[in-house]
Amino acid sequence: MNAIQLDKFGHLKHFIAIEGLKRDVLIDILNTASSFISVGEKAVKKAPILRGKTVMNLFFEHSTRTRTTFELAAKRLSADVLNFNISTSSSSKGENLIDMLRNLEAMHCDMFIIRHKAAGAAHFIAQHVAPNISIINAGDGQHEHPTQAMLDMYTIRQNKGDFSPLRVAIVGDIQHSRVARSNIYALKTLGVSELRVVGPKTLIPNGIEALGVSVFHDLKMGLRDVDVVIMLRLQRERMHSALLPSVHEYFHYYGLTEKVLKVAHPDAIVMHPGPINRGVEIESTVADGKRSVILQQVSNGIAVRMAVMAMTLGTQRVSIDDKA
């Protein structure tokens, strides 16, 4: 994977997965994102770093939140942005993916943001795209969601500083979550003290311990003394399958409430990739409470995606002030 993601100097060319990336690369992303946080606080929310570049959002799978934050990040870097409507494109008329890529390349874009229901789609596209185009994975099937993981890492560092002493718990549908996978890879690479996954047996992959995590099926035991709680969105179709009996029962055993949160460290933070299913994964008093950093995640996501865009296009070493 890194033979595609990194250029010969070890800099990002594409951003497809967290797995395999070294700690220095992840830290570089976090540090670069720090330089972009202030852009959103200015009267004119623009930095001309990607002026003249064209970014195309290719979302084969619907996601308003992720697409919007990528679009906003690109525009804050002064790039031109195109949103490609897959549902009305020739792909729905039988054109294959390679032919579609060749036609899009002919429009002289510089970057494709890819979201696809098939695991490995972004990697496949990066293998076949023209060498002057960068690919960013905005979520591929049950594989990875690397920019979500990095905005989560930024939010954790923002609130906790050093990763090394932290105990972190990821709670919910680990089996089907690309967010969980990317976060596991990132947290292990950044060196957290302990990483736990918590959920019912039907939603925990077999053999996940090989990734260096501890498995818990009891929520209170899994959250005891942790510093960070990452709740995952539970897709409601799980409730209508053999994987889970009901919304009520899931919330009873795995929903995060104020009472359950008391077993965590007193300064523990609560995270969620969104959108939240209130009363399913988390109760409103926790989601809106003082320990919640969910809205910080949203704000930080724009800066992190700006950082990844700038880095993959080779402009990460140009400061905002120098280009203003």
> pLDDT tens across 169-180, in order?
999 999 999 999
Q: Tell me the average pLDDT across 120-125.
A: 94
74: CB partners within 8 A, 6+ apart: 50, 55, 81, 309
- For residue 88, is pLDDT > 70? no
pTM of the model: 0.92
Q: What is the pLDDT of residue 289?
A: 97
- For residue 119, is pLDDT > 90? yes
Contact 119, 140 (CB under 8 A): yes
8-12, 122-126, 189-193, 284-288: lowest mean pLDDT where? Answer: 8-12
> pLDDT tens across 137-186, in order?
999 988 999 999 999 999 999 999 999 999 999 999 999 999 999 999 99
High-pLDDT (> 90) share of the chain, %: 76
Q: List beta partners, residue 55.
A: 81, 111
- For residue 95, is pLDDT > 80? no
- Band (pLDDT 50/70/90 cuts) for residue 320 is very low
- Band (pLDDT 50/70/90 cuts) for residue 26 is very high
Q: Tell me the average pLDDT across 249-273.
A: 96
- For residue 132, is pLDDT > 60? yes
Instruction: Locate the domains of the chain by residue range.
Output: 2-143+299-318, 146-293
275 or 247, which is more confident: 275
Strands (E), the chain: 54-59, 80-84, 111-116, 134-140, 167-171, 194-198, 214-216, 228-231, 269-271
Domain 146-293: CATH architecture, name and number where available: 3-Layer(aba) Sandwich (3.40)
- Fold agreement between 2-143+299-318 and 146-293: yes
What's the Cα-to-Cα distance from 36 to each of 12, 135, 256, 321, rounded to whole Å?
18, 21, 32, 11
- Band (pLDDT 50/70/90 cuts) for residue 235 is confident
Two tokens, residue 57: 């959002």
Q: 3-state SS string over 222-290?
A: HHCCCCEEEECCCCHHHHHCCCCCCHHHHHHHHCECHHHHCCCCCCCEEECCCCCCECCCECHHHHCCC
Q: Tell me the average pLDDT across 308-321.
A: 70
Helix axes 121-128, 97-105, angle to 10 degrees: 50
Q: What is the pLDDT of residue 318?
A: 44
10: CB partners within 8 A, 6+ apart: 25
Q: What is the pLDDT of residue 241?
A: 65
Strands 80-84 and 111-116: unpaired
Q: What is the pLDDT of residue 236?
A: 62
Q: Tell me the average pLDDT across 194-209.
A: 96
The CATH code belonging to domain 2-143+299-318 is 3.40.50.1370
- Band (pLDDT 50/70/90 cuts) for residue 68 is very high
The listed range with the strongest mean pLDDT (211-220, 229-238, 310-319) is 211-220
Dist. CA 258–CA 193, nearest whole Å: 25
Q: Tell me the average pLDDT across 5-34.
A: 95
Q: Tell me the average pLDDT across 78-84.
A: 93
What DSSP designation does 47 have?
-
